[in-house]
Amino acid sequence: MIRPIVNYLVRRHVAKTKREPSVVHGDLIDSMAIVACRDQVDFSIIEGYVKDMRQKGIKTVDFYIAFPNSKTQELYGATLKDFPFNPKSFGFFGAFKSPELEQINGKKYDVLVDLSDGATMECDLLVARIEAQWKAGKRIPEREHLLDFMIETNDADTRNFIHNLTKYLTGFNTLNAA
């Protein structure tokens, strides 16, 4: 993939969809998509977060995991709700080539949580194409067009970011909140 062309296509896709984000109440979240990169140092923390969200009673928690290549992807023991992908899962201009990613078309989520920090262009493509009422992640100026809610953190602590995001999603953003 040619990065400048794909970045242009992602921006054009986001502008063309004219998506109107709407805040989803924490008590009413039925479906969630979480995007992460396997190469992240804190990947075990992210896996724990996905497990916690699945145990909280959210009906659908799909986990999209970016791998650097197909060999490391094959070594990962994915469950039915895990959707691994790698650079070969995309065509030259960013089209889906993987059957696991094709299932995104037509699927809608209440919340998308981006924990990839923009580590790969493939994660950005996925975040842009997943239909969600509300998209949240870390504030990175180059990726502001992809997300609706961004938390700015001065440190690189994934655990702190996840804690703050979960507190907002499930604590403050409820039907009983003022």
pLDDT digits (tens, 9 = 90+) for 47-74: 898 998 888 888 999 999 988 888 887 8
At 111, is the secondary structure helix, strand, or coil?
Answer: strand
- With cut-offs at 50, 70 and 90, classify the pLDDT of residue 178: very low
Question: Would you say how long the chain is, in residues?
Answer: 178
Burial class (CB in 10 A: 0-12, 13-18, 19+), 79: exposed
> Is the separation of the CB atoms in 117 and 155 below 8 Å?
no
Give the residue from 4, 5, 126, 17 showing the smallest Cα distance to 65: 126
145 in Cβ contact with 135 (< 8 Å): no
H-assigned helices in 84-170: 99-102, 121-129, 158-166
What residue type is 34 in one-letter code? I
pLDDT tens per residue, range 133-169: 888 888 877 777 778 888 887 767 788 888 888 887 7
Distance in angstroms (rounded) separating the CA atoms of residues 138 and 149: 8
Top-confidence residue, 1 or 60 = 60
Q: For 16-38, what is each residue's pLDDT tens digit?
A: 776 666 666 667 788 999 999 88
What is the CATH class of 3-17+29-172? alpha beta
Position 34 scores a pLDDT of 92
Per-residue confidence (pLDDT) for residue 175, from 0 to 100: 57
- CA dihedral sign of residues 92, 66, 63, 99: positive
